[in-house]
Amino acid sequence: MAYNFRLIESKWQNFWRDNDSFKVSDPKPGDKSSYILEMLPYPSGNLHMGHVRNYAIGDAIARFQTANGYNVLHPMGWDAFGLPAENAALERGAHPEKWTLENIQTMKKQLQGLGLSYDWDRELTSCMPNYYGLEQKIFIDFYKKGLAFKKESWVNWDPVENTVLANEQVVDGKGWRSGAQVERRQLNQWSLKITDYADELLTSLDTLKGWPDKVLKMQENWIGKSEGALVHFDVEGVSDEKIDIFTTRHDTLFGASFIAVSAHHPFLSHIKHTKALDDFIAQCDASGTTEEELSTMEKIGLDTGFKAIHPLDPSITIPIYAANFVLADYGTGAVFGCPAHDERDFDFATKYNLPILPVIETDEPLPYTGSGLIVNSEFLNGKTIEEAKAESLSRLMASKKGERQVTFRLRDWLISRQRYWGCPIPFIKCDDCGVVPVPESDLPVTLPKDVTFDQPGNPLDRHPTWKQTTCPTCKKPAERETDTFDTFFESSWYFLRYCSPNAKKPFDKDVVNSWAPVDWYVGGVEHAVLHLLYARFFVKALRDLGYLDFDEPFTNLLTQGMVCHETYKSQDNKWLYPEEVTKDRGRAFEAESGNPVDIGPSIKMSKSKRNTVDPLEILDTYGADVARLFVLSDTPPDKDFDWNVEGLDGCWRYANRLWRLVENYQDGSMTFPDAEASKDADLKLQKETHKTLKQIENAFKNNGFNKVIALHRQLERAIEDAASQVSQNIMHEALHVLFKTIETIMPHLAAEAFSVLFNKKIHTINWPEFDPKLVIDDTVTIAVQVMGKLRGTFEAPLDASKEMLLELARSTVSKYLDGKSIKKEIVVPKKLVSFVTN
Ligand code: ANZ
Ligand code: ZN
């Protein structure tokens, strides 16, 4: 009978649910405990293959840990706030909450259909007041500690949608949804002071030994520590004005040919505006603020007519420009330009006819950014770059014209969003008292349900009553803050909430300390910076607020590769779904018309390229175990995985082979030879079982699930080969190991096998132990030389005597010894026998 996954999978899913099989209680002192976590999904409505791979990986780790005697916390929840829910409201008139909660219901069923070992009692849904209300308390605590603040910030403004856009939502200078040209605007916005932790976030990367190097590197670059100097330039003829600039190249100060300030630099507001200057600023504001945009757009500037005085030689003056390429919020928002040794400055100087004076000696064309000795620089001449930096800094310091300065690329985290579907920021705006936190007794501030989406802008802003309240301090009428949190706020602490999901406060300190940090965190590498950096920041800030006692959230990080599929394009240039295509000997055709189809490379599955495979169809045709087996086979989990039907079919056949074993051994039709006859075969299978078990265990320790699967196939073949030659107890041991080790990946089939073969509940059975005696090879390969030449090899018992080795060696190379007399015999135990003849 073919393997009936439908029956078996639903049977065990029901069993696990009805018996709370994966419910976990908090660790007691001395318990071996482990926290395994996959990044929580956004409830978009449907599971995709990336989810399946992510959760299959996490579940394999969790089940392995459980089998090894750990008390394993393995929870799941929903990152349920965010824009798509508002878009759905806009497009379909469904309330964001209704849309979200319905999606969660659907996706939860789909997840349960995968047979994942979650403790569903700990499920959290971030859009529910019992979750987001608690983070309002965290936010107020941040505020009291000076970690949350409101200030005027430059933002990307979408003039059609009337909202701020995150940098990632600006595509080619346009709003990602409206397509409108994004503008720069200054708005009063809430931010979190992640920059207070810049240094610690950087240095403690060293402690994250269990993180992939590429992620560590990305975080390091994102934090972007630069060591340099702050230099004060006086302005000629204006005694109380000076411009501070940040530079990492104070060795090149004598090559300065202009100063450039950003369009909203304070210096510009101190000087009299000409129409040209106003126009120039307006022109700068008409583009976005992202660094990427600034680096690609045409560099323009305007001479302010003012001149700065060189800090190392007051006889030199330098023109001051306003320029569009200077980032307002990096360093001081002002730079000195050294065209001979910086590409950007070179372009600018060429365009505006400014001097280009080389100060690093070189024969190469300018701009030259390499090393060399200093020239054209008075007292710095002849020095190396490093020497010149030191000298220039000490002179600047002596004359109070500069000091050492460390700057980070990391910006404070702007968390205000003019959005309905997010956590309300728990503050009240009072004309007299300013911004005042909502008193704790009034938390949570819940979202009103009666909102409309018929106009652009934030529905909370135009709600008739919600924002009217009284000031907690002076009791006068006041208004609520109508901005909501960036949804990265919710995902910055959810892993702490899972530890004590019913606590009245965000989480219980002792319980969190007993579970966390997370031992294995599994998710996409696309979160290498934002989410993973925010979560690290939260843990450090919460630690300093006394909420918990550790420094980092995630001890080991596994960033899984993408699930890829080849792409198909019809003759009229339309993407086609795999099911619309038939393939024949490497060529592809449209299934309906038979027209030829272009096959493109295998790339990440995405709806836009239609190269997706629907997990539900796979589950329906092959079952969860085969899908799980397939997404873990072939490639290590951190590498991209190529989806192909052949591989999937291979996994289906494998599941059936395993199932046939179950059937063969359950019905008693197998015969077992008597003990004497089977001795050799017994030992062989027994050894194969124990050796494979050891290798599988090692593969698990490195998350080499693809290796685990390959080893498993090897053991399965050994079992098939040994059929009816081995004793019953040996076969049972082999089957026990076979199914227990695959439980991590194919839990349903394995559970059924244990039930049928051994009448046991597999998830209560520990990981089998291999016998060290059975895994050592007890023979060695010995090389035989005659007159220094290798003439053969043979297998000998490890403990073979010298006489025995010589005997075996002689017979191995007998034809080389024929007719000769042996002058000398050399025996190197476990390695070599060498004959010298004459
Ligand atoms: C003069 C100079 C000469 C510079 C030279 C470079 C090469 P990192 O290493 O990324 O920190 N800079 C400083 N603030 C800026 C801003 N707000 N917008 C745009 N550029 C800014 O880069 C430090 C360098 O970035 C600084 O050193 C400054 O230009 C520029 F041959 O100063 B440099
Ligand atoms: Zn007040």
Per-residue confidence (pLDDT) for residue 16, from 0 to 100: 96
Per-residue confidence (pLDDT) for residue 740, from 0 to 100: 98
Which pLDDT band holds residue 294 (cuts at 50, 70, 90)? confident
Give 181's strand partners: 174
* Ligand 2 centroid, distance to 826 Cα (angstroms): 99
Per-residue confidence (pLDDT) for residue 362, from 0 to 100: 96
Per-residue confidence (pLDDT) for residue 403, from 0 to 100: 97
Integer angstrom CA distances of residue 306 from 234, 281, 312, 321: 11, 17, 19, 8
Which atom of ligand 1 approaches the CA of 329 most closely?
17
139, 425 Cβ separation under 8 angstroms: yes
Which candidate, 397, 485, 446, 390, places its Cα nearest to that of 166?
485
Q: At 543, is the secondary structure helix, strand, or coil? A: helix
Q: What is the mean pLDDT of residues 554-576?
A: 92
Higher pLDDT, 57 or 814: 57
DSSP string of 685-706, one letter each residue: HHHHHHHHHHHHHHHHHTT-HH
Which candidate, 187, 159, 149, 161, places its Cα nearest to that of 425?
149
CA atoms of 235 and 396, how far apart (whole Å) = 16
pLDDT at residue 249 tops 90: yes
Ligand 1 close to Cβ of residue 86 (< 6 A) = no
607, 567 Cβ separation under 8 angstroms: no
Q: Which two tokens mark 231?
A: 């230099």
- The letter for the amino acid at 535 is A
Which pLDDT band holds residue 290 (cuts at 50, 70, 90)? low
Considering every ligand atom, which ligand is closest to the CA of 385? 1
> Hey, how many other C-beta atoms are within 10 angstroms of the C-beta on 445?
20
Per-residue confidence (pLDDT) for residue 735, from 0 to 100: 96
Which pLDDT band holds residue 736 (cuts at 50, 70, 90)? very high
Q: What is the mean pLDDT of residues 786-807?
A: 88
What is the distance, to the nearest Å, from the Cα of residue 159 to the centroid of all Cα atoms in its chain?
33
Give 157's strand partners: 164, 183
Which pLDDT band holds residue 167 (cuts at 50, 70, 90)? confident
Q: What is the mean pLDDT of residues 231-260?
A: 96
pLDDT at residue 783 tops 80: yes
Q: What is the mean pLDDT of residues 385-394?
A: 97
278, 286 Cβ separation under 8 angstroms: no
Q: Which two tokens mark 687?
A: 């050894």
Q: What is the mean pLDDT of residues 7-28?
A: 96
pLDDT at residue 784 tops 70: yes
Q: Which residue CA neighbors atom 2 of ligand 1 most closely?
A: 249
Ligand 1 close to Cβ of residue 335 (< 6 A) = yes
Per-residue confidence (pLDDT) for residue 777, from 0 to 100: 74
Contacts of 116 (CB under 8 A, 6+ apart): 55, 58, 59, 76
pLDDT in tens, 100-129: 999 999 999 999 999 999 999 999 999 999
pLDDT at residue 177 tops 70: yes
DSSP category for residue 332: T
Q: Is the dihedral of CA 460, 461, 464, 468 positive or negative?
A: positive
pLDDT in tens, 349-374: 999 999 999 999 999 999 999 999 99
Which candidate, 550, 557, 530, places its Cα nearest to that of 192?
530
* Ligand 1 centroid, distance to 227 Cα (angstroms): 11
Higher pLDDT, 476 or 298: 476
* Ligand 1 centroid, distance to 247 Cα (angstroms): 5
73, 498 Cβ separation under 8 angstroms: yes
226, 330 Cβ separation under 8 angstroms: no
CA atoms of 336 and 250, how far apart (whole Å) = 10
Ligand 1 close to Cβ of residue 552 (< 6 A) = no
Q: At 831, is the secondary structure helix, strand, or coil? A: coil
Q: What is the mean pLDDT of residues 795-822?
A: 87
DSSP category for residue 156: E
CA atoms of 467 and 429, how far apart (whole Å) = 10
Q: What is the mean pLDDT of residues 611-623?
A: 91
Q: What is the mean pLDDT of residues 560-579?
A: 90
One-letter-per-residue 3-state SS of 246-286: EECCHHHHHHCCEEEECCCCHHHHHCCCCHHHHHHHHHHHC
Which residue is listed with tokens 């695959």? 742
Per-residue confidence (pLDDT) for residue 160, from 0 to 100: 84
DSSP E strand boundaries for 688-831: 779-786, 789-797, 822-828
pLDDT at residue 751 tops 70: yes
φ and ψ at 374, to 5 degrees? -75, 135
pLDDT in tens, 408-418: 999 899 999 98
Considering every ligand atom, which ligand is closest to the CA of 324? 1
> Hey, how many other C-beta atoms are within 10 angstroms of the C-beta on 109?
10
Which atom of ligand 1 approaches the CA of 407 most closely?
11
One-letter-per-residue 3-state SS of 2-52: CCCHHHHHHHHHHHHHHCCCCCCCCCCCCCCEEEEEECCCCCCCCCCHHHH
CA atoms of 360 and 339, how far apart (whole Å) = 12
579, 621 Cβ separation under 8 angstroms: no
Q: What is the mean pLDDT of residues 694-705?
A: 94
pLDDT in tens, 33-52: 999 999 999 999 989 999 99
pLDDT at residue 1 tops 70: no
* Ligand 2 centroid, distance to 423 Cα (angstroms): 23
Ligand 1 close to Cβ of residue 128 (< 6 A) = no
- Mutating to test ligand 1, I would choose from 247, 264, 368, 393 the residue with most ligand atoms within 8 A of its C-beta, which is 247
pLDDT in tens, 621-666: 999 999 999 999 988 999 988 888 889 999 999 999 999 999 989 8
Ligand 1 close to Cβ of residue 249 (< 6 A) = yes
678, 725 Cβ separation under 8 angstroms: yes
DSSP category for residue 821: -
pLDDT in tens, 511-532: 999 999 999 999 999 899 889 9
One-letter-per-residue 3-state SS of 207-233: HCCECCHHHHHHHHHHHCEEEEEEEEE
pLDDT in tens, 668-693: 666 777 766 678 899 999 999 999 99
Per-residue confidence (pLDDT) for residue 168, from 0 to 100: 66
Q: For the chain, what is the mean pLDDT? A: 93
Q: Which two tokens mark 128?
A: 């529910």
Q: Which two tokens mark 70?
A: 């750990």
Which range among 223-232, 248-257, 496-505, 560-569 shows the weakest confidence by mean pLDDT? 560-569
Per-residue confidence (pLDDT) for residue 670, from 0 to 100: 67
pLDDT at residue 772 tops 90: no
Ligand 1 close to Cβ of residue 246 (< 6 A) = yes
Percent of the chain having pLDDT more than 90? 76
Per-residue confidence (pLDDT) for residue 775, from 0 to 100: 85
Ligand 1 close to Cβ of residue 330 (< 6 A) = yes
Q: Which residue CA neighbors atom 28 of ligand 1 most closely?
A: 247
Q: Which two tokens mark 583?
A: 């393939």
Q: What is the mean pLDDT of residues 319-325?
A: 95
Contacts of 582 (CB under 8 A, 6+ apart): 588, 589, 590, 591
Which residue is listed with tokens 């790339």? 603
pLDDT at residue 270 tops 70: yes
* Ligand 1 centroid, distance to 298 Cα (angstroms): 18
Q: Which two tokens mark 626?
A: 């085969």
Per-residue confidence (pLDDT) for residue 288, from 0 to 100: 66
CA atoms of 183 and 774, how far apart (whole Å) = 72
